[in-house]
Amino acid sequence: MADLALPKLPDRTPVKITIAVTPELRQTLDDYAAVYRNAYGVDEPVTELIPQMLMHFLSKDRAFNRTRAGLVRTHTS
């Protein structure tokens, strides 16, 4: 096998999660999709935006990432 700099890619199989949201949150998500469409000229469904919104939110949460890094070190030690 070749000694590549890029390691084998992780499993990227989508995992479906079903959640219930309030009517107010659903309207807010629909409004966000409309603002996104106006900003970028692309009509993305809310179901495509939510995972990206969550990843963005989680990546910016410093307290979560700091704590998570400690948990990962504890589990792998």
**68 domain-assigned:** yes
- Number of domains within the chain: 1
List pLDDT tens digits, range 6-43. Answer: 888 889 999 999 999 999 999 999 999 999 999 999 99
7 lies in a domain?
no
Helix, strand or coil, per DSSP, at residue 43: coil
Q: What does the block give as tokens for 18?
A: 């079903």
DSSP letters of 6-54?
Answer: SPPPPP-----------HHHHHHHHHHHHHHHHHHS----HHHHHHHHH
What pLDDT, on a 0 to 100 scale, did the predictor assign at position 45?
97
Residue with tokens 């992780």: 10
The verdict on residue 47 lying in a domain is yes
Identify the pLDDT of residue 7.
86
Question: 29, 50 in Cβ contact below 8 A?
Answer: yes
14 falls within a domain: no
